[in-house]
Structure 1
Amino acid sequence: MFQLNTQGRTYGQNLRLAIFLSFSAGLINIIGLLQFGELVTHVTGHFTHFANALSTGNFTLILQRFGFLFSFIFGAMAASVLVIYTGRWKEQYSHTFALLIEIAILFFVLSHPNWSARWNAYLLLFAMGLQNALVTRISGAVVRTTHLTGISTDLGIELVSLFHSQGEERKQITRRLSLQSTIVTGFVVGGIGAVFLFSKFHIHALLLPIAILTSALIYDAVHYQLHHKKDLSKIN
């Protein structure tokens, strides 16, 4: 699922990546909104608030809104650095450290719900920037899981293209539509689930995305080991 080689990736790998991480992002986004009053994946909205803050001339508000944007961008930068340098060491671990950092951040926020709401929102934005950049790099920009503006645009384009295609081209468009629909559905279902979970468990609802990300790591490690053993047996 987290195989770094974009040329060798399969549709199934990208689909599993979309299911696991879009659902997780939908959960985290709504939990962040309900607990801290901020959307932690909606960067377009934060740019809007930043522009509005600039128009007011309120330095404190400008700094706060810039912090939201910087947190997401810095998370994306961190993921890129981790993928590049870890991939040079061992390609199969290129995703591991980034996901472990995301899990650690979620645990920290879960354990410190009464800490500054703004700083917890910064941490969640960093985690979502980390996740989105990780998924983007691994999938070759085929899968993005933390915001839907680009995906919705692609859906509109592909739906029109579907009616003007045939044969292999139509098959490829159908696959892309299926992947994009999965991302949208996963994100929305995650958001709906977060509302119900938060009403019962409050910030402890973060345990579900933590469990999902941990399961994804374990699944990928086991899957890699099984295939690695098969490849070795073929060589021998």
Structure 2
Amino acid sequence: MLYGNESISYYSKSNVSIWMLMAFQAGLLNIGGFMACHRFVSHVTGFATFFGYEINQADNSHAIGMLVVPLFFLLGAMISGFLVDIRLKMHKRPKYYLSFGFIFILLLAIYIGGISGLFGVFGEPLNNRSDYLLLIILCFTCGIQNGSITSVSKSVIRTTHLTGITTDLGIGLARMLSAKKLSETMENEKKATLMRVGIILFFGLGSVAGGFVFSKLAYYGFIIPVATSGVLFSLMLYFQFLKPKMAS
């Protein structure tokens, strides 16, 4: 993935390390968003559920917000599609450094906006426009992250939510337990199963770490996903952009 090769090895050490770090980052963002304004940020299903609830309330003003916010997850996925998926289909080098650059800049904006008071008081009920602005930026960020990894892995990997990964894990475990009945080799299935377990564990680890950090530091806790996204952006920028230029 670092080199933008179409024939990537799904389970190479570099790819697995990147996926685990991104799952950890997603866990941080989800717990950070939840603790800041009481909504999960990469759970589109949850927004649809909240819309159904809010539209039936006497004051249904939040219903529109529950529809608008996940559209930015969709927009983020579309942007990643142009930068990664479309270029892969055209047999061109995906621009990972741009998609990861967007993620880094958006998270840096959340950190700066949070500590400067742009998003209001950390942990207040979801009432103000500033809360929706925070949710929009977080959903937009998660859409870019999830779309980029989904495209390059041919839908094998998703790092911002666990429903699909858990489903795939269940199917993979059933295949492994039925290995004697199946003629195909289980080597790739074993690697995929370990990868899925790893993503679930690192997402959970990010959530646990985030719960501790955000309870102590509030918006200052977003410095951690800023740091992890900065590392990923730097790696992509070096291997995809700077290193080829230096070689030529």
TM-score range, shorter chain: 0.7 to 0.9
Contact 1:21 1:145 in 2 (8 A): yes
> Where does structure 2 lack aligned partners over 5 or more consecutive residues?
120-129
Matches within 5 A, 1:169-188: 169-188=185-204
Instruction: Give the drift of 1:165.
Output: 1.4
Query: Within the alignment, does 1:126 sit opposite 2:127 as a pair?
Result: no
Measured against aligned partners, the alpha-carbon deviations of 1:203-225 in whole angstroms (never above 9, x if no partner) come to: 11111111111112223444558
The answer for the alignment partner of 1:199 in structure 2 is 215
Distance 1:123 1:225, change over 3 A: closer
Assess, with a 3 A threshold, how the Cα gap between structure 1 residues 161 and 44 changes in structure 2: closer, same or farther: same
Deviation digits for residues 100-120 of structure 1 (CA, Å, limit 9, x no counterpart): 111111111111223311111
Cα deviation, residue 70, structure 1: 0.8
Could you tell me whether the CA contact under 8 Å between 2:2 and 2:236 is conserved in 1? yes
For the residues of structure 2 that align with 1:198 and 1:214, how far apart are their CA atoms? 19
Report the residue type matching 2:228 in the other structure: I
Indicate the SS of the match to 1:7: coil
Letter in 2 for 1:79: S
> How far did 1:133 drift?
0.4
Distance 2:81 2:58 in 1: 34
The alignment-based identity, stated in percent, is 27
TM-score (ref. length: structure 2): 0.82
What is the aligned counterpart of 1:216 among 232, 245, 248?
A: 232
Q: 1:78 to 1:213 in 2, by over 3 A?
A: same
Post-superposition shift, 1:28? 0.9
Deviations 1:156-211 (A, max 9, x none): 11111101116972211110101111110110000000011112222111111111
Deviation, structure 1 residue 123: 0.8
Matching of residues 33-72 of structure 1 within 5 Å: 33-56=34-57, 60-72=61-73
Q: Aligned residue for 1:91?
A: 93
The structure whose residues are more often helix, as a share, is 1
Secondary structure of residue in 2 paired with 1:150: helix
**Once superposed, what is the RMSD of the aligned Cα atoms?**
2.8
In 1, Cα distance between equivalents of 2:242 and 2:61: 53
Deviation at 1:77, TM superposition (A): 1.1
Change (3 A) 1:96 1:30: same
Deviations 1:105-161 (A, max 9, x none): 111111122331111111101111111001111222111100101111111111111
Unaligned runs of at least 5 residues, structure 1: none
What is the letter of the counterpart of residue 128 of structure 1?
Answer: C
Amino acid at match of 1:41: S
Distance in 2, matches of 1:152 and 1:29, equals 17
SS of equivalent to 1:161 = helix
Instruction: Provide the C-alpha distance between the structure 2 equivalents of 1:55 and 1:140, rounded to a whole number of angstroms.
Output: 39
Amino acid at match of 2:164: G
1:111 corresponds to: 112
Q: What secondary structure, in the 3-state scheme, does the structure 1 residue paired with 2:231 have?
A: helix
CA shift, 1:53, in A, is: 3.1
| Count of matched residue positions in the alignment of Structure 1 and Structure 2 | 230
Corresponding residue number in structure 2 for 1:190: 206
Answer yes or no: is the 8 Å Cα contact 1:145–1:183 preserved in 2: yes
Looking at structure 2, the residues matched to 226 and 65 of structure 1 have their Cα atoms a distance apart, in angstroms, of 41
User: Paired residue for 1:7?
Assistant: 7
Secondary structure of 2:140's counterpart equals helix
Instruction: Say which is worse superposed, 180-189 or 44-53, in terms of deviation.
Output: 44-53
d(CA) in 1 for partners of 2:179, 2:6: 25
1:158 maps to a residue whose letter is G
